């Protein structure tokens, strides 16, 4: 049974007002690991905004028990959800995350590619250098290219 506070904030995620949804997500994330099961159940919601906000809250909480579920979200049909799942994973220091971030360097959403590169650089994954170089060779978006170059520079130091 969910507490009244959790239920209220989950309902807030469904609000039409974007600011209410953001505050509800922050409130849920502030509850920490106790809310993880409820957030994981929201990853299967039909509404992409709910999946996005649940992924965002899980990224703030940074509980390694959520990694497999967040990895699954990197294949979501909505680019916003993939981005937020990658952003959440990018902050986690776990061996399962590196290969996913490498795969996401070729996502069709530019922001997702950028956050994947940043995550690889932040994790200090020198084995990602080759993958970043290949991705850079194929990248046409100038902003993503800058992100890839920055990640490469950081990893080569």
Residue 115 contacts residue 86 (beta carbons within 8 Å): yes
User: 123 or 53: which carries more pLDDT confidence?
Assistant: 53
Least confident span in 35-44, 48-57, 111-120, 124-133: 124-133
pLDDT tens digits, 32-50:
999 999 999 999 999 999 9
- The confidence band for 125, taking pLDDT boundaries of 50, 70 and 90, is confident
Q: Does 126 score more than 90 pLDDT?
A: no
Residue 42 contacts residue 54 (beta carbons within 8 Å): yes
Burial of 48 (0-12, 13-18, 19+ CB in 10 A): middle
Between CA 113 and CA 36 the distance in angstroms is 26
What's the pTM value of the predicted model, to 2 decimals? 0.93
pLDDT at 17: 98
Q: Does 113 score more than 90 pLDDT?
A: yes
Q: Considering the chain, what is the average pLDDT of its residues? A: 96
User: Rounded to 5 degrees, what are φ and ψ at 20?
Assistant: -65, -45
pLDDT at 19: 98
**Residue located via tokens 């965002």:** 56
Q: Which two tokens stand for residue 3?
A: 């507490």
């Amino acid at each position: 049974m969910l507490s009244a506070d959790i239920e209220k904030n989950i309902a807030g995620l469904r609000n039409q007002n974007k600011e209410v949804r953001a505050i509800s997500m922050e409130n849920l994330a502030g509850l920490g690991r106790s809310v993880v099961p409820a957030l994981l159940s929201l990853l299967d919601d039909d509404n992409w905004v709910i999946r996005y906000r649940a992924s965002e809250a899980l990224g703030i909480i940074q509980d390694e028990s959520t990694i497999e579920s967040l990895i699954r979200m990197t294949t979501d049909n909505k680019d916003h959800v993939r981005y937020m799942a990658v952003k959440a994973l990018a902050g986690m220091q776990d061996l399962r995350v590196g290969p996913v971030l490498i795969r996401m360097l070729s996502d069709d959403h530019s922001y997702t590619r950028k956050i994947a590169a940043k995550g690889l650089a932040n994790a200090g994954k020198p084995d990602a250098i080759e993958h970043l170089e290949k991705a850079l060779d194929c990248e046409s978006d100038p902003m993503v290219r800058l992100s890839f170059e920055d990640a490469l520079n950081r990893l080569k130091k």
